[in-house]
Amino acid sequence: MNEVTETSSDVYQEKTAAEAERFLAFTLSGEHYGIPLLKVKEVIELTKITPIPYAPNYFKGIMNLRGQVISVIDLRLKFKMSKAEIGSQSAIVILDLSPLCLGVIVDSINCVLASERSEIQARPDVESQVKSDYISGVIRSKQDLVLLLDVERTLNAEDFQTMKTQSQSKAA
């Protein structure tokens, strides 16, 4: 009887872990954001970025990461926040947006959050001229609220075309 109880408990724990979603939490302009951990390929320190002429101002350029050309954007500028001052905590989060990879500059990396799906609240309805479709939800972390980003919705069709063009031109 005791073995059955332990087995049932193990199944319950695995199910609970499977229901939890994990997010990489980071800071932009003092606010907390999260990206699904499954989209994060790696986090690296700031490195040399080659600017691309005539690209939108939030496209910082391209970088070489172990032979792969990756477009890099500054999320602060994409979200129309004040221009970031690069500090010792600044980092580039490399995202896997199959078939492309994208680097996003953030102010600092905070932690990895695990949250049950039931704890994720719907995005707030905001009356604004700027669409908030890129926010997929909100979770509470200690005293802070963390806005969860849907990275694909953050970027528009022009952004994807710019990324594709930049990676193809450098690969050739």
User: Are 45 and 63 within 8 A, CB to CB?
Assistant: no
Q: Is residue 123 part of a domain?
A: yes
DSSP class of residue 158 equals: H
Q: What's the pLDDT score for residue 43? A: 95
Q: What's the pLDDT score for residue 144? A: 82
Number of structural domains (the chain) is 1
Q: Is residue 9 part of a domain?
A: no
Q: Is residue 58 part of a domain?
A: yes
Helix, strand or coil for residue 51?
coil
Say which CATH number the domain at 66 has: 2.40.50.180
pTM above 0.85, yes or no: no
Digit-coded pLDDT (tens) for 143-153: 788 889 888 77
CA distance 156 to 140: 28
Domain housing 123: 19-171
Q: Is residue 6 part of a domain?
A: no
